Chain A
Amino acid sequence: MIHFVLLISRQGKVRLTKWYSPYTQKERTKVIRELSGVILTRGPKLCNFVEWRGYKVVYKRYASLYFCMCIDEDDNELEVLEIIHHFVEILDRYFGSVCELDLIFNFHKAYYILDELLIAGELQETSKKTVARLIAAQDSLVETAKEQAGSISNIIAQATK
């Protein structure tokens, strides 16, 4: 099971956190600080796994961002690397060659995508196409609602002129 997902920039700034196991706010801050200290200082050629408090943290760096997932000791580390890559590819497809800025300004979108990929710390969908389709459908629902709201307020504005 994935206990949490962290996206940390090379400067140690948090870009996304998702907790599937309960951690208090205090613990979360501590975990992030501790792990970014360990992960950001590891050299480039080393393996992508860090043993930490009886768990394993699998991380992978994409450009300036570190994607980290904390898993149980007996989970498949190599598979988690694939899950991370899967997530990155979907982000890439959605934003069109994603960069850190996309994830900062559209952090909520990144969360929506993650929610289509993982629930309860388990993988939900292995098809990138399906995830993209689901996200697009929900985005368009939002757009429609916005337009309607816009037109309604227009109508009201017209009527009360």
Chain B
Amino acid sequence: MNPFSSGTRLRDMIRSIRACKTAAEERAVVRKECAAIRSAVSENDNDYRHRNLAKLMFIHMLGYPTHFGQMECLKLIASSGFPEKRIGYLGLMLLLDERQEVLMLVTNSVKQDLNHSNQYIVGLALCALGNICSAEMARDLAPEVERLLQSRDPNIRKKAALCSIRIVKKVPDLAENFMSPAAVLLKEKHHGVLITGLQLCTDLCKVSEEALDYFRKKCTEGLVKVLKDVVNSPYAPEYDIAGITDPFLHIRLLRLLRILGHGDADASDSMNDILAQVATKTETNKNAGNAILYECVQTIMSIEDNSGLRVLAINILGRFLSNRDNNIRYVALNMLMKAIQVDAQAVQRHRATILECVKDLDASIRKRALELIYLLVNETNVKPLTKELIDYLEVSDEEFKGDLTAKICSIVEKFSPEKIWYIDQMLKVLSEAGNYVKNEVWHALIVVISNASDLHGYTVRSLFKAFQTSGDQESLVRVAVWCIGEYGEMLVNNIGMLDIEDPVTVTESDAVDVLEIVMKRHTSEIDTREMSLIALLKLSSRFPACSERIRDIIVQNKGSLVLELQQRSIEFNSIVAKHQNIRSALVERMPVLDETTYSGKRPGTLPATGSTSTGASLNIPNGVAKSALPLVDLLDLGSDDAPPPSSSGGDFLNDLLGIGVSPTPSMSGSSKSPTKGTDVLLDLLSIGTPPAQNNFSNDLLSMSTNNGPSFSSLERTQSLSSQVSSPPGAAPMMDLLDSLSPTVSMTSNSLADMNLTGDNGLVHQPIVAFQSKSLKIMFSFSKKPGSPQTTLITATFTNLSSNDYTEFLFQAAVPKFVQLQLETASSNTLPASGNGSITQTLSVTNSQQGQKALAMRLRVQYKVNGEEGLELGQVNNFPHGL
């Protein structure tokens, strides 16, 4: 006999693997075993095939590759004896999954086994088929399985029922074949067959409307009776769990009834009594009973309205919520999330308890509770709830702070009744957990601060105080630095004192201290230091007395290893030292940032449910009217602080030097327009958002750099100098700083001219793409960065009728030369009478731009009061040149 093929026994192999002390030893043993098995495989050894396969399965479980054993499974399955088949099928299920092509080879053997006279062999084949069959196998073997549903042996019937579930999931069109045999199973007495039959019906209902109707008509009554029988059945030791006869059966019955009752008043009516009985009579001191109640509550919540039952259900959840068992509380929270849509008032009653759950030790419960609280917040309770959450923030786990701050910020943004409250809460969050706050959140805060002109003084003073205590919270520091840079004189002179404030005495040098600390602290991030440097420049003009000191601080960074800092400090030093005359104009306060543009900037990040992330939903009230610069709109710069055409050079640079933030790619770099002249304009004008500004000043001021990020902007700067044809603009940029005012003003003037005269062809006004008496669709256009052929269309849907539209679905078709990509819509519910709208972005690439015009067919589908609505239309009025 071959010395390898005999090998060791399975037991011995497991023992020797377990005896290994190191991973290397284990690998060696496994390698040896695998080698032996491989050679046995190649010799086509019959005697030990099943043992080898068993070994392989163990090796597989340890995570080693075992693909070479796959064919062995097939051979074992094809052999005649039950023991070989049993191990062969087990191997098949373990070593293969439905995506392996080897699986197709087994179809024939499975088919034969399904027709075998031995019920256990049939059972093996059904089990394997149910666990791993692919769509092709499902199609091939469905008739066999269908036949076995009527087998005489209950064990085969139940296996066939579960196998059918897999088949129907893989190939939904086969559902109708299984409908009537499945209905027959519901009349069974054998629990195994009954629960598998119930499960099959449930899954059939999920894939096929037809099946749902069929079972609803034929089986509802019967199922109610079965549930009654099982609820009232006497003690049955075989199925008893904690005094309840077969809770699994209860649960499956309730689940199918839920699906049948949903959206059907008659069916719901017929099950009311039994649901009430289950809800009131079920034992609740054991998990099994609670599992049934939980299922029952879900059913009550989703069948047609019966207020008595709903009260019962909410009460059960209330009891669950106060249970000491964490599992029960978890499911209660989970269920209340669904109940909130049915009866928000009832859920509000449990608010205090839910709030306690946010503070639970258990991460799963905390997460659920936080999601739930988030849904419970409204205008009336936002203040106390926020206070509670912020108080908890102080003591919460580190890993929970991220989620918690995200939710708090989102709540505060969404429901803040007034700005001062918003600012106060945000400052609290920032001082408590500023390191966990996402960038979008504090960006939004700065926008709000910038808009609240009466609160500038208050805010900067609060930030100054907060900095003293929580200077280690990075995003707090950034906001503080920004505000001190902008509103430094208000800090020092107590301008704009509110009644509620205690007067503070802050000297100019105190304010500079803050910035100096930030600059010098080695833990400060580079972005923060950059912001601080710019704030220093601003203060040098606001506080002339400190000018020299500020210059010293700036100069210290001339040798900074961070290129951005080094470069900036050299430039600023030059401004402070040589250009006193223009400095004050240079560092004027930032114009008010536009809230609407800012929040509209990131429509894509708006979370679908509103419960996942923060930051995006910046629906801060009181938006400033957007300045009507069509060009700005067009280029998607989203800013109204782009200098108006007539602005002087000083003003202009002021913007440029506005506080920049992280070196995110600037909007300008990515916006593309066909004409080069406007490219330059783009660069100059794209200073809408803080992230863009830094880059921008980079563009103008950086010359001899060769680091990555500014390289591209350097190129653009050069393109600016070469392409702007006016002579002053063509002067090397380095000169800008040395002979600053004349050149810059001329440059910007000439650019401003171009802005005026520029490319009107680019201004694509929004169009009404479609209008009927019930629906209006507006398209607005912007160009996709980097590809002139691509246009981003923002479609805005408005409902002109007096009924809400649900399940709103917009589809579009375009000619062949155009490529269309539809993004997800902002919502699928369209409120009535124009009380809101849905937006959806379409990305259109016209491969024959300039030759052929865009055209589009539209199809809009929705439901009004449960009725299907459909609108069709065609858009031919696209602006030229898209």
Contact = CB atoms under 8 A, between A and B. Distances in A.
Contact of A124 (B57, B99, B159): B159
A62 interface: no
Interface stretch (B283-291, B375-383, B623-631, B649-657): B283-291
A88 interface: no
B196 A76 contact: no
Contacts of A18: 93, 131
A148 to B, nearest CB: 9
Centre residue among A24, A51, A112, A122 by max chain B CB count within 10 A:
A122
A111 B120 CA distance: 16
B62 interface: yes
A141 interface: yes
Interface in B257-273: none
A138 B192 contact: no
Nearest to A104: B14
Interface string B357-374: 000011111010000000
Interface residues of B, number: 68
A99 interface: no
A20 interface: yes
A86 B249 CA distance: 14
A98 interface: no
Given A83-B248, A126-B249, A78 B331 contact: yes
A123 B82 contact: no
Interface in A86-121: 86, 104-105, 107-108, 111-112, 115, 119-120
Interface in A4-33: 14-20, 22-25, 29
Nearest to B53: A108
Q: Is the interface of B mostly helix, strand, loop or mixed?
A: helix
Contacts of B287: 78, 81-82
B148 to A, nearest CB: 13
B81 A145 contact: yes
Contacts of A129: 238
Interface in A49-107: 49-51, 76-79, 81-83, 86, 104-105, 107
Contacts of B166: 119-120
Nearest to A32: B63
B186 interface: no
Contact of B57 (A45, A46, A78, A108): A108
Contact of B361 (A45, A104, A146): A45
A122 B195 CA distance: 10
Contacts of A81: 287, 291, 327
Contact of B162 (A25, A119, A138, A146): A119
Interface in B76-102: 81-83, 86-87, 90, 93-94, 97-99
A45 B707 CA distance: 54
Contacts, number: 159
A51 B14 CA distance: 34
Contacts of A15: 61
A46 B196 CA distance: 32
A125 interface: yes
A125 B195 CA distance: 8
A157 interface: no
Interface string B231-271: 00000001101000011110100010000000000000000
Contacts of A76: 251, 255, 291, 294-295, 298
A159 interface: no
Given A107-B58, A108-B90, A123 B248 contact: yes
Interface string A118-161: 01101111111110001001100110011000000000000000
Contacts of B54: 108
B130 interface: yes
Given A108-B54, A137-B120, A145-B82, A126 B192 contact: yes
A83 B252 CA distance: 13
Contact of A47 (B162, B298, B329): B329
A120 B163 CA distance: 7
A47 B52 CA distance: 41
B57 A107 contact: yes
Contacts of A45: 326, 361-362
Given A78-B290, A122-B196, A124-B159, A142 B248 contact: no
A122 B159 CA distance: 10
A22 B58 contact: no
- Give the interface size bracket for A toward B: 35 or more
Interface string B103-133: 0000000000000000010010011001100
Given A46-B362, A119-B130, A145 B83 contact: yes
B165 interface: yes
B18 interface: yes
B199 interface: yes
A107 B155 contact: no
Interface string B677-692: 0000000000000000
B327 A77 contact: yes
B191 interface: yes
B291 A47 contact: no
A121 B567 CA distance: 63
B11 to A, nearest CB: 6
A47 B248 contact: no
Given A48-B327, A126-B192, A127-B239, A82 B61 contact: no
Nearest to B334: A77
Contacts of A108: 54, 57, 87, 90
Contacts of A142: 82-83, 86
Interface string B1-28: 0000000000100100010000000000
Contacts of B131: 18, 20, 115, 119-120
Contact of A127 (B65, B99, B191): B191
B238 A47 contact: no
A120 B162 contact: yes
Contacts of A128: 238
Nearest to B67: A25
B330 interface: yes
B158 interface: yes
A102 B263 CA distance: 50
A23 B132 CA distance: 11
Contacts of A107: 57-58, 61
B327 A119 contact: no
A127 B367 CA distance: 36
A82 B247 contact: yes
A105 B14 contact: yes
A78 B94 contact: no
Given A17-B61, A122-B165, 14 more contacts: A22-B97, A47-B365, A76-B294, A77-B330, A77-B331, A77-B334, A83-B248, A105-B14, A108-B87, A129-B238, A130-B238, A134-B123, A142-B82, A146-B83
Interface of B: 11, 14, 18, 54, 57-58, 61-63, 65, 81-83, 86-87, 90, 93-94, 97-99, 120, 123, 126-127, 130-131, 155, 158-159, 162-163, 165-166, 191-192, 195-196, 199, 238-239, 241, 246-249, 251, 255, 287-288, 290-291, 294-295, 298, 326-331, 334, 361-365, 367
Q: Nearest 10 pairs between A and B by C-beta?
A: A78-B291, A47-B326, A119-B162, A119-B130, A120-B130, A46-B362, A120-B166, A142-B83, A125-B192, A79-B291
23 contacts: A15-B61, A22-B99, A46-B363, A76-B255, A76-B298, A78-B331, A79-B248, A79-B291, A81-B287, A82-B291, A105-B11, A107-B57, A115-B90, A119-B127, A119-B131, A123-B195, A124-B196, A127-B191, A127-B239, A129-B238, A138-B82, A141-B120, A142-B82
Interface of A: 14-20, 22-25, 29, 43, 45-51, 76-79, 81-83, 86, 104-105, 107-108, 111-112, 115, 119-120, 122-130, 134, 137-138, 141-142, 145-146
